[in-house]
Structure 1
Amino acid sequence: MPRGTGEVSEPMYYVLTALLDGPLHGHAIMKVVAELSGRRVSPSVGTLYGVLERLNDRGLIVVDREETVAGRNRRYFRLAEEGRAVLEAEALRMQRAAALVIDRPATA
């Protein structure tokens, strides 16, 4: 199986979605994920960095740059082309699955 294929977990889906608009650092990713999910997905720092590591290992995201802010290293991540393709495929899969319920005629 190629690196980027396969399903993504809900936290992974929201992290990939958060990166659609451009590179973000970890704290910003946590904020955007919480907002996008209506606070349903709110990963801890440790969980988030585990997700980021798995996405990076699969080639779905890449490190965009690193900088030092107030004496702390800040790493920015961006969506890789393969990550965009996997995210779009997952969104279409969920849309088709939802249509099975939403488009079903009502029964009496």
Structure 2
Amino acid sequence: MCYNSPLTEALFYILLAVRKPNHGYGIIQEVSDITNGRLVLGPGTLYGAINSLLSKKWITLYSEDKSSRKKKEYLITTDGKDVFYKEVDRLRELIENAKLMEDLV
């Protein structure tokens, strides 16, 4: 597993949305719900990200309905969880460092 740079916001929320099996439209809905509508993924963004996450093995194809191309469910992998939690640690550090601004007020 290789993880050297911050995740984009879209990738962060997609990984969060596939903590349990989820399909494309479900991911779009969950990301919108989690962010209170602030982040709405378009299909191009979502499926480009899914292809990237699959190639990095951060998610896996959990199930597929052969009769419908829309019925693919994805699930985060162990490597994906590792990347996600490293990003959470990075964000926590960022918040802690931001508190330094309070010293200037």
TM-score range, shorter chain: 0.7 to 0.9
Distance 2:93 2:53 in 1: 24
Q: How does 1:52-67 map to 2 (within 5 A)?
A: 52-67=50-65
Secondary structure of 1:39 counterpart: coil
Deviation of 1:103 (Å):
5.8
Alpha-carbon distance between aligned partners in 2 of 1:43 and 1:57, rounded to the nearest angstrom: 20
Could you tell me how far apart the structure 2 residues matched to 1:37 and 1:105 are?
Answer: 26
TM-score w.r.t. the length of structure 2 is 0.87
Query: Could you say what secondary structure the match of 1:76 adopts?
Result: strand
Gaps of 5+ in 2: none
Measure, in 1, the Cα distance between the counterparts of 2:80 and 2:50. Answer: 12
Letter in 2 for 1:77: Y
Q: Within 2, Cα distance between the matches of 1:57 and 1:18?
A: 18
User: Does 1:84 find its partner at 2:81?
Assistant: yes
1:1-108 mapped onto 2 (5 Å cutoff): 2=1, 4-6=2-4, 7-20=6-19, 22-67=20-65, 72-73=68-69, 74-102=71-99, 105-108=102-105
Displaced runs of 4 or more, over 6 A = none
Find the residue that maps to 2:104 and give its secondary structure: coil
Task: Pick the structure with more strand per residue.
Answer: 1
Distance in 2 between residues matched to 1:43 and 1:101, nearest whole Å: 28
CA shift for structure 1 position 105: 4.3
Q: Aligned-pair distance for 1:46?
A: 1.5
User: Aligned equivalents of 1:106 and 1:81: distance in 2?
Assistant: 39
With the length of structure 1 as denominator, give the TM-score of the two structures: 0.85
Query: C-alpha displacement at 1:47, in angstroms?
Result: 1.2
Moved more, 54-63 or 95-104: 95-104
Q: State the identity %.
A: 21
Distance 2:100 2:22 in 1: 37
Q: Report the number of matched residues.
A: 103
